[in-house]
Amino acid sequence: MKKYIFGLLFFSLFLSGCWDRRELNQLAIAVAFGFDKVDDEYLVSAQVVVPSEMSVNGGTGKSQVTLFTARGETVYEAFRKMTKESPRKIYPGHLQMLVIGEELAEEGIGKSLDVLSRDPEIRPDFYVVIAKESAATDILNVTTTIESVPANKMFKSLKVSEEAWAGTKSINLDELLTDLISEGKEAAVTGIRLIGDPKIGSSKQNVESIKPAATLQYDHLAVFKGDKLVGWLNENETVAYSYISNTVKSTARPISCPNEGVATIEVIKSKAEVKGDVKNGKPEININVQVKGNVGSVQCEINLNDLETIAELEKSFEKKGEENGKRTIESLQKNYNVDIFGFGEAIHRSNPKEWHKLKNNWDEEFSELTTNIKVDLTILRTGTTDRTFLEKVQE
Amino acid sequence: MWFSKNKNKKASIPQSPLTSPAEESKQKVVIKLKTSLQQNIKTIQEALGKSSDIVTREIRIGKQGNIKAGILYTDGLTDTASLQNFILETLMLDLNEIDLQEKASPEQNLISVLKDVALTVGEIKEITSLEVIITSLLSGDTILLIDGYAQVLVISNKKWAERAVSEPTAQTVVRGPQEGFNENLRVNTALIRRRIKDPNLRIESKEIGVRTKTNIAIVYIQDIANEKIVEEVRLRLDRIDIDGVLEGGSLEALIQDSTYSPFPTILNSERPDVVASELLEGRIAIVVDGTPFVLVVPALFVQFFQSPEDYNQRTIIGSLVRFLRFIAFGISLLAPSVYIAITTFHQAMLPPSLLISLAAQREGVPFPAFIEVLIMEVTFEILREAGIRMPRSIGSAMSIVGAFVIGTAAVEAGLVSAMMVIVVSITAITSFVPASYEIAISVRIIRFVFIALAATFGIFGIVIGLIALVLHLCSLRSFGVPYMSPLAPFNVSDQKDTFIVFPIWKMTTRPHLIGKKNMVKQQDSASAKPAPPKK
């Protein structure tokens, strides 16, 4: 008898299972979300993979992703409303990209992000970008080549360009939320632009030509004050921002030669130290950027065997870098009054007591902040030749 | 008190007149032979129901053939050549001139004279009990009856058709002896003895089975094997009261510790080198006549992953292969269940590209992953079983159909996804990696439990299942030795031969719980280490 009761209890365990079971073909795997604001309502779009088109056998030639859109008073409501259009429930576990429309960004992104940080299915490691001069829906409505899933293209493109070019800056939801709530740092998010004809862009035709009619391109850096978009940094400023925020992995930088012409320095390593200090109640920031690089290309007549030439090249790079950094900080101080570099955090770390006095008035303090930037380049290698062959080219 | 009465009734049943045939034979009175030759032959023939394979030959021996004698043997089990050369020829030709009656004295009767002087055969016995005579006759011995004597001579000249010592088929190695046990008990004990020429190697014989009277031998090395375990083996074998044992497997079932556990607690091997090395570790081998598989006790969990090849190979390679077997065991146990758990509960665990690729494969598959796995696993089990049973000549046709049906066709028909075929194939292949077939079968059963747990609870279910499995394994014992030792209870020095194989010169001790009596295998690992001579 005991055995039967035990058996009954054991098998009743299985009754509690299966509640969260979902087969793979019951999922609409969302790879990108787009948030826009239309007439006081959120317009949420989800780029969803069409698995049958992704199969190794090649599918039937239809688009590999599809876009579902829904409007709602809240983002969450819109998600659920999407099932009116979609045959499967949206599964956001593998989200790669979140695109936020410029208009919504100007109004404030905070409210729309809550659902993403709250939902247990969502991992906050996807990239957030701002659609510059367009709606997020339009960005998600462009076919791409090489990576046939546009979200993958956006994800990889941002990752690669951040690592190889430094003119873009990736930020995932986790980092963005940290920046939004930080007192001594404001958020900065890369912008994405639709270049070309959006009408052809959404069709398969777009990727059938060698040069697609519409492409997606990362450009500019959106500067936030609180959760509101206040302006854009251009490419040079973005590079400076990357150096100071210590995210440069590798990049290429043209510099002027000692006499005339240009050369390129390939940066292979960069380490920035931002140190805060408070002198007579006035905050001060010292930035020291240690850069290691190679001579990437030479388009002028210089002798690379000469150590002095190398030193001059280094000096030229350092000067240019320092100027660019100074200009970027000044522009932020003057135009936007926004501390995206985290200088406030640096002060907080070095002078916690002083920071408590400064933090309430940090925006004003930032605009009058003294910053010293010092760049120090070490050239390691000059490539496989020393003198350029250009010298021997007969005019 | 109705229940206590009931109990008493139950207890009294064995004493009731309705006894089993086994018990009946025990109570039998020993029937002695008479002195008349004719009567004796008749008694024996009647006892055997005049079976056609019993050959009776009446002869006359001695001077002028004045003594009547009878010879009985079982046709097919007796060596007729030696019967003619050493028994019939001696008795009928060589003894013609001698008056045997004269030679016999009050101290030594004719039978003894024949035994001591005349018959040139190795093993010979004087027997009076009819039961023993019949058993000997049926085992292939020749019976010599002399008129006027109530004893007979049992002459051992057994010989029957048997398989030669050949390569083991179930447990093969690349490097190592290619010699396997066969069905003959004596050949098998000889194969062991040939490897261990230690006077302490003991071979104890027993007869099991009231009707089959199967010979078995308990083999152990006296000064290494734990006396208590040897005694336990004897006890368990003596307890057996069955009409017949035809195979080592049924003997295993009669003496093993836990019948309902999926895991084997007795090791079997058809390799004399394996059995010899187990004996050297202090284990006890049970050789059963008629089976080329020798049982070894006590058997531990890790033993089923040890192959003789581990020691024949270089230590690094041996370790790698040993470790691989444990990994393969894990894969074979968990691959389908982990696949189900991840694809139906924890999709977030997969990298995006893999998830999309899996989802693409699952498009159009009508069944949930659980049913899909069941279909494939059951199909595979059926194919495997069919592969063993079917006649060898249709094997290749079968394997083509099998590979095609469970592979390509099932995927193309949209019945299962391609990934599922991969998972099931990997499971099938890995299940044969552990050194022992027994452990592979046990995994086969447990795998289905894990599949059910994964389909209901996901990874959580698998973890619960694993905890239960470990608890079960730790509760098992093989002849008093914890099954999971040397892992639980943990022993440091025994780890030299658990997950990795240490160099032979480093294994200085025998397994802690088995060779306790005589722990040291080699004195000093430092001197055993191969090194160039010191100056």
Q: Tens digit of pLDDT for each residue in B140-187? A: 899 988 888 888 889 888 888 888 888 988 888 888 899 999 999 999
Residue A12 lies in a domain: no
Confidence of residue B1 (pLDDT cuts 50, 70, 90): very low
Per-residue pLDDT, averaged over A21-30, amounts to 89
A130 and A162 both lie in a single domain = yes
> How much is the CA Rg of chain B, to the nearest whole Å?
31
A283 and A192 both lie in a single domain = no
Q: Which of A23, A31, A94 sits opposite B368 (nearest CB)?
A: A23
**Residue B94 reports pLDDT greater than 50:** yes
Contact A325, A236 (CB under 8 A): no
B360-373: b or e for each residue (b if 16 or more CB lie within 10 Å)? Answer: bbbbebebbbbebb
**What sign has the CA pseudo-torsion A331, A334, A340, A341?**
positive
Per-residue tokens: A301:
């007549």
Q: Do A93 and B347 lie within an 8 Å CB cutoff? A: yes
Please provide the DSSP assignment of B194-237 as one string: HH---TTEEEEEEEE-TTT-EEEEEEEETTTS-HHHHHHHHHHH
**Cβ atoms within 10 Å, residue B38:** 13
A25 lies within 8 A of chain B by CB: yes
Contact B76, B52 (CB under 8 A): no
Q: Do B360 and A21 lie within an 8 Å CB cutoff? A: no
Confidence of residue B411 (pLDDT cuts 50, 70, 90): confident
Q: B340: alpha, beta or left, given left = phi > 0 and alpha = psi -120 to 50? A: alpha
**Cβ atoms within 10 Å, residue B51:** 11
pLDDT at B5: 42
Q: Do strands A188-196 and A127-131 pair parallel, antiparallel, or not at all (unpaired)? A: parallel
For residue A87, the distance in angstroms to the closest alpha carbon of chain B comes to: 14
Interface mutation vs chain B, best among A24, A57, A125, A159, most B CBs within 10 Å: A24
Contact B517, B282 (CB under 8 A): yes
Q: Tens digit of pLDDT for each residue in B431-453? A: 888 888 888 889 988 999 999 99
pLDDT at A58: 67
Of chain A residues 232-261, which have a CB less than 8 A from chain B? none
Residue A3 lies in a domain: no
For residue A19, the distance in angstroms to the closest alpha carbon of chain B comes to: 8
Please report how the helices B272-280 and B185-195 are oriented relative to each other, as an axis angle in degrees rounded to 10.
60
Range of the domain at A386: 243-395
Of B385, B320, B372, B378, give the one whose Cα is nearest residue B344: B372
- Calculate the alpha carbon distances from A68 to A38, A46, A114 in Å: 16, 5, 21
Of the residues A233, A264, A286, the one at which a domain ends: A233
Contact A300, A316 (CB under 8 A): no
B246 lies within 8 A of chain A by CB: no
Residue A255 lies in a domain: yes
> Residue B4: phi, psi to the nearest 5?
-70, -35
Q: B495: alpha, beta or left, given left = phi > 0 and alpha = psi -120 to 50? A: alpha
pLDDT at B12: 40
A322 and A187 both lie in a single domain = no
Rounded Cα distance, B306 and A343, in Å: 63
Q: Do B347 and A22 lie within an 8 Å CB cutoff? A: yes
Rounded Cα distance, A45 and A37, in Å: 11
Of A159, A163, A91, give the one whose Cα is nearest residue A129: A159
The DSSP output letter for A189 is E
Q: Which of A14, A17, A51 sits opposite B363 (nearest CB)?
A: A51
A-chain CB neighbours of B456 within 8 Å are: 14, 17-18
B357 lies within 8 A of chain A by CB: yes
Per-residue pLDDT, averaged over B224-245, amounts to 92
Per-residue pLDDT, averaged over B483-501, amounts to 90
**Residue B6 reports pLDDT greater than 50:** no
A29 and A174 both lie in a single domain = yes
**What sign has the CA pseudo-torsion B390, B394, B399, B402?**
negative
**pLDDT exceeding 70 applies to what percent of chain B?**
92
pLDDT at B51: 86
Helices (H), B437-483: 437-457, 459-475
**What's A357's domain CATH number?**
3.30.300.210
**Residue B106 reports pLDDT greater than 90:** no
A79 and A223 both lie in a single domain = yes
Q: Do A52 and B369 lie within an 8 Å CB cutoff? A: no
A65 lies within 8 A of chain B by CB: no
A185 and A249 both lie in a single domain = no
B505 lies within 8 A of chain A by CB: no
Q: Do B344 and A22 lie within an 8 Å CB cutoff? A: yes
Of the residues A233, A263, A298, the one at which a domain ends: A233
Q: Tens digit of pLDDT for each residue in B276-335? A: 999 999 999 999 999 999 999 999 999 999 988 888 888 999 999 999 999 999 999 999
**What sign has the CA pseudo-torsion A152, A155, A158, A163?**
negative
A185 and A255 both lie in a single domain = no
Q: Tens digit of pLDDT for each residue in B47-85? A: 888 888 888 888 888 777 778 888 999 988 888 888 888
For residue B342, the distance in angstroms to the closest alpha carbon of chain A comes to: 10
Contact A176, A112 (CB under 8 A): no
Of A174, A330, A328, A361, give the one whose Cα is nearest residue A244: A328
Rounded Cα distance, B494 and B302, in Å: 11
Q: Do B368 and A94 lie within an 8 Å CB cutoff? A: no
A-chain CB neighbours of B455 within 8 Å are: 17-18, 21
Residue A11 lies in a domain: no
Query: Where are the extended beta strands (E) located within chain A?
Result: 27-38, 41-49, 65-72, 89-91, 97-101, 127-131, 188-196, 214-225, 228-233, 251-256, 262-279, 282-299, 370-381
Which residue matches tokens 């014992």?
B477
Rounded Cα distance, B284 and B514, in Å: 10
Residue A203: is it exposed, middle or buried by C-beta count within 10 angstroms (0-12/13-18/19+)? Answer: middle
Rounded Cα distance, A247 and A166, in Å: 8
Confidence of residue B30 (pLDDT cuts 50, 70, 90): low
What DSSP element (H or E) covers B535? none
Contact B41, B56 (CB under 8 A): yes
Higher pLDDT, B204 or A54: B204
Q: Do A24 and B355 lie within an 8 Å CB cutoff? A: yes
Chain centroid offset of residue A202 CA? 24
Q: Do A17 and B345 lie within an 8 Å CB cutoff? A: no
Residue A38 lies in a domain: yes
Residue A16 lies in a domain: no
CA of B366: which chain A residue's CA is closest?
A: A25
B344 lies within 8 A of chain A by CB: yes
A93 lies within 8 A of chain B by CB: yes
A160 and A267 both lie in a single domain = no
B-chain CB neighbours of A14 within 8 Å are: 452, 456
CA of A12: which chain B residue's CA is closest?
A: B456
**pLDDT exceeding 90 applies to what percent of chain B?**
37
Residue A2 lies in a domain: no
B216 lies within 8 A of chain A by CB: no
Q: What domain count does chain A have?
A: 2
Interface mutation vs chain B, best among A23, A121, A152, most B CBs within 10 Å: A23
A73 and A196 both lie in a single domain = yes
Contact A336, A329 (CB under 8 A): no
Q: Tens digit of pLDDT for each residue in A113-146? A: 999 999 988 988 899 999 999 999 999 999 998 8
pLDDT at B228: 92
**Residue B466 reports pLDDT greater than 90:** yes
Rounded Cα distance, B285 and B248, in Å: 11
Which residue matches tokens 């007729």?
B80
Contact B344, B462 (CB under 8 A): no
The DSSP bridge partners found for residue A381 are A294
A280 and A152 both lie in a single domain = no
For residue A51, the distance in angstroms to the closest alpha carbon of chain B comes to: 4
Of the residues A195, A215, A233, the one at which a domain ends: A233
Residue A86 lies in a domain: yes
Q: Tens digit of pLDDT for each residue in A46-102? A: 999 998 888 776 677 788 899 999 999 999 999 999 999 999 989 999 999 999 999
Per-residue pLDDT, averaged over A205-212, amounts to 88
A215 and A324 both lie in a single domain = no
Q: Which of B348, B357, B362 sits opposite A23 (nearest CB)?
A: B362
B461 lies within 8 A of chain A by CB: yes
Rounded Cα distance, B436 and B182, in Å: 19
Average pLDDT, chain A: 90
A177 and A311 both lie in a single domain = no
pLDDT at A55: 75
Q: Do strands A97-101 and A27-38 pair parallel, antiparallel, or not at all (unpaired)? A: parallel
**pLDDT exceeding 70 applies to what percent of chain A?**
99
**Cβ atoms within 10 Å, residue B451:** 25
Contact A197, A151 (CB under 8 A): no
Rounded Cα distance, B148 and B35, in Å: 5
**Residue A230 reports pLDDT greater than 80:** yes
| ipTM higher than the 0.85 cut | no
